[in-house]
Structure 1
């Protein structure tokens, strides 16, 4: 394992340790015992539905890939996204494993990044709406999310333009003496080509966006379910903002399995609405458990793959 992995492991440990040092574990455990087994099971089923939704969403963007393979690779990416630094690590594994089914080099990468971009666009839009629906304290965050939403949309439109694709080809030729620049330009060109191809099927992009909204709605509903059982009494807009904020933090590849970032995000954001640190950590540990459940399902799927080979 390289130095970067150990640095991220140390960061996760320090963040979580700092929070636990300031929070009585007995109170966190007491909060968790208030949640019935049926609620935990319902939350796990909702999480499973989210993972299936994400797989179908990718398949809608790239129907050339077999649906069964997309579902299997999506579960496997849950495993690698948990054991490797950052959720994006799971996307990298998904791209690599789906590469054997792609029509042209880089198709799997392009489809995965388009899917991720649409899901992130929907996430930022939900977060921005929630921030503006709340009081003025959260308006600055809403402005940031609105800017990020427009940035993703503009980037997608720009990459789909033929002139931009031609520019990327020229950059790849110019940067042939610098391998990293040539590879980056080539990847961007492939993404642009795939996005241009996807733009000719706007119905699929719209379906993907709707599925992304459904995905986020299920996740927010899951938060409300567990949160209500823990006694967190906040409105829908507040839950949307908390979910969006934590989800953005989880994209950062600076920790292992999001440990530390997830807990800090819930504690910090829920504190804005008067939720205690103990209850916020209980919520965070619940969703960490669901993430580990997804990783376990992915690990079992990976083992089955190896046995079939």
Structure 2
């Protein structure tokens, strides 16, 4: 009962933070100018942006299938869309990933492998994102704070370390788990599950071509998402080099990993406003772009909600 209460309190807290941040941004915005910007959006670019986002879901499913080749692409695609729905209604993107594990692993003995595939898939996707962001920063013609580059590089190296550290710890970990199962019978199930996770992780690490292709597909996913943002930005009269959109989107995506708000509301807007404002983009245009990006997520979330309703 106490745990449920704590979870509910955390959700209320995150909802409160979202409302406060969004209210703050709107109060510092010329609302008439903001609404005028939305009228500038063209149906063609909206549909093209939505089409690109739809393609990214197919790429994401293809990327996940590399790790789980025994599952149909259509099933993985459906779960990716459903996960978007839960990422919107629950506090934090990681809830969407957890839903994928639950739906795909329900009633299966290989749930540890499925959970590991989701984690590895997420990490390789983030590595692809950070590679795109780092390259974009390098080729930018703007005079930018070096701290942004260091943030991207440190995050990239950290994820690569996390991905491959199982190679370093696999033997002592298995020894520890073996002793745990022997001397602490009440922890035997947990130790066995952790052992299966480590073996699945090691299996993926030994398949270098799959990991390499997964990172490449992750980068392609990000590039198409950025292109969708560029289409919306053009309608809003925001003109930046594609390289700059790469590092901007990478930093926005990193910020969205913070589980502080519902569906990233407030954090997304604040990051877009801060980064674009630094480049001379008025707050109204930056906020309009952020809300448009969120709108694309809502559309895919609605599709995911419908799929979840009919999911069996």
1:164 maps onto 2:169 in alignment: yes
1:178-229 superposed Cα distances (whole Å, 9 cap, x missing partner): 989x95x766544432232123332222221121111011011111111111
Of 61, 66, 71, the residue aligned with 1:65 is 71
Would you say the 8 A contact 1:271–1:277 is kept in 2? yes
Answer yes or no: is 1:288 the counterpart of 2:294: yes
Q: Please give the alpha-carbon distance, in whole angstroms, between the structure 2 residues aligned to 1:292 and 1:236.
A: 25
Give me the whole-angstrom Cα distance separating, in 2, the residues matched to 1:164 and 1:299.
40
In the TM superposition, residue 36 of structure 1 has moved relative to its aligned partner by 0.9
**Structure 2 residue 210 is matched with structure 1 residue 199:** no
Q: 1:40-66 CA deviation, whole Å, 9 max, x = no partner?
A: 111111111112211111111221223
| Distance of 2:132 and 2:46 partners within structure 1 | 25
Determine the structure 2 residue equivalent to 1:27. Answer: 33
Deviation at 1:167, TM superposition (A): 2.2
Q: 1:25 to 1:90 in 2, by over 3 A?
A: same
Distance 1:179 1:119, change over 3 A: farther
Identify the match of residue 106 of structure 1 among 89, 99, 112: 112
Matched with 1:45 is 51
Distance 1:189 1:238 in 2: 43
Match of 1:223 in 2: 229
The C-alpha deviation readout for 1:231-285, integer Å capped at 9, x for no partner, is 1111122111111111111111111111111111110111121111000111111
* Equivalences, count: 303
In structure 1, what is the equivalent of residue 146 of structure 2?
139
CA gap of 1:56–1:3, structure 2 versus 1, over 3 A, is same
2:272 aligned to which of 258, 266, 275? 266
CA distance in 1, matches of 2:108, 2:116: 10
CA distance in 1, matches of 2:180, 2:145: 45
Q: Deviations over 1:132-182 (max 9, x none)?
A: 3344533221112112211211222221x2x512322344444986989x9
**Alignment equivalent of 1:211, drawn from 194, 217, 226:** 217
Judge conservation of contact 1:266–1:280 (CA < 8 Å) in 2: yes
- Give 2:258's match in structure 1, choosing from 252, 255, 259: 252
> Counterpart of 1:65 in 2: which secondary structure?
coil
Provide closer, same or farther for how the CA distance between residues 11 and 131 of structure 1 changes in structure 2, counting only shifts above 3 A.
same
Gaps of 5+ in 2: 1-6
Tell me how far apart the structure 2 counterparts of residues 302 and 105 of structure 1 sit (CA, whole Å). Answer: 20
Of 78-87 and 131-140, the range deviating more from structure 2: 131-140
